Copies of this chain bind each other. A is one copy, B any other.
Amino acid sequence: MSIALTILGCHSATPRVNAHPTSQYLEINSKHFLIDCGEGTQRQMRKFKVGFSKINHIFISHLHGDHVFGLVGLISTFGLLNREKSLTIYGPRGIRQFIENQLHISQSHVKFELIFHELTSSKSELIFEDTKVEVWTIPLHHRIYTNGYLFKEKVKPRKLNMNVIKQFKEIEFCDYNNLKAGKDFVISNGKVLKNEQLTLDPPKPLSYAFCSDTCYKPTIAKIIANVSLLYHESTFLSDREDLAELTKHSTARQAAKIAKTANVEKLVLGHYSSRYSNTELFKKEAQEIFDAVELAEAGKKISIDS
């Protein structure tokens, strides 16, 4: 079990030569997700060797351009690359019209199935689930309807403790799945072997919370409590908390307060405003509240092993 988060872009507003709008590539429990897709994301994916064919699910936080203007180009490129697998896009209501209108007018007829999962709820909801991962929305508060996303590894089966199991000849291969599922084993003399005796705990499930864009919203701490990794936007430093409030963004200090309240293991900061040339100041400000802080930067890969 592990998480690897590759930052493709982490600056706010307009793309610049060395400042790319928001996009992230997340590998979690062998699943691969793209989160947000500002202009130039497909170029960043190529630059940082993100395999296009691995992406089957894209999560868009909100429909401001710096989070979505690269999406139609990426979909169009998937088409040019003769993609056949379906692609599911999660995002606010309106995203279907936004993309389909562009594909129609530009005559970018893709042959694969494009599935839209449009979001409207103001409550956290489970929007994706398979055997390995769950994805929940994190309702945020921005100038436009916005969700963060919480990616959670599922609890894996218990591990067989073969050194012990070998001592009981009655336990056969066909019993292993029951043991992994946590069941006890009854031997022929009626004696019960407790599961804990025969198996080991699986690794702790990891989790990643993506929170951008949002004003300071303390209630999200409950949804993201104890996550392994939290990305929380910090568009401003506290010197411009007034501007953060006005534009419904957060400061580095506020991001750190969320991280502390939610008791996360590590905080990643990003979505920096272009007014700041020295991003180290964000780390410094956040660390006055919460110690385990890392700065997002394009191309950086942040990994966590369980």
Contacts and interface: CB of A to CB of B under 8 A. Distances in A.
A102 interface: yes
B39 A73 contact: yes
How many chain copies? 2
Given A14-B42, A42-B15, A46-B16, A106 B65 contact: yes
Interface string A25-59: 00000000000000110110011000000000000
Nearest to A108: B65
A124 to B, nearest CB: 24
B98 A15 contact: no
A14 B77 contact: yes
A223 interface: no
Nearest to A100: B101
Contact of A14 (B15, B80, B94, B102): B80
Nearest to A70: B39
Contacts of A42: 14-15, 39
A94 B105 contact: yes
B14 A63 contact: no
A112 to B, nearest CB: 16
A143 interface: yes
Contacts of A101: 97-98, 101-102
Nearest to A41: B39
Contacts of A80: 13-14
B68 A144 contact: no
A69 interface: yes
Given A69-B76, A73-B15, A73-B69, A102 B105 contact: no
Contact of A17 (B46, B65, B94, B98): B46
Nearest to A39: B73
A69 B68 contact: no
Contacts of A77: 13-15
Nearest to A52: B14
A40 B42 CA distance: 10
Interface string A68-89: 1110110011001100000000
Contact of A63 (B97, B98, B106): B106
A107 B17 contact: no
B17 A47 contact: yes
B107 A144 contact: yes
A105 B63 contact: yes
A217 interface: no
Interface string A98-142: 100110011110000000000000000000000000000000000
A64 interface: yes
